[in-house]
Amino acid sequence: SAAGTTNQVVLATNSAYFFKGSLIAGVTGGGDTAAWEFKGAIKRGATAASTAIVGATILDRVAYDANAASWTVAITADTTNGGIAVTVTGAAATTIRWVCKIETTEMTY
């Protein structure tokens, strides 16, 4: 789905969040699978446009099948909605189900 305020972590105005998450991806029927863990910090000022990742997000690919080696995940700031953007890339002509869980510790100022 397209990113929006109902399907991603959106920061409160004037806040900073520590986040950690896990992501699993797989092809229907027990096909290729890959898994990642990530953690980092993100902040937002007075507007969504001010949302920014703090430093560098740590992203670890935990496990993957050989045919899933080229699948990628990127964690960035969504400056349109003011949230955490998780962007994935799979394989051409392949239906892959992606599921992500994000936990946050939040501070507003």
Q: In angstroms, how far is CA 19 from the centroid of its own chain? A: 10
Concatenated DSSP letters of 18-77: EEEEEEEEEETTT--EEEEEEEEEEEE-SSGGG-EEEEEEEEEEEEE-GGGTT-EEEEEE
- pLDDT tens, position by position, 7-61: 789 999 999 999 999 999 999 887 899 999 999 999 999 999 999 999 999 999 9
**pTM of the full predicted structure?**
0.91
- pLDDT tens, position by position, 58-77: 999 999 999 999 999 999 99
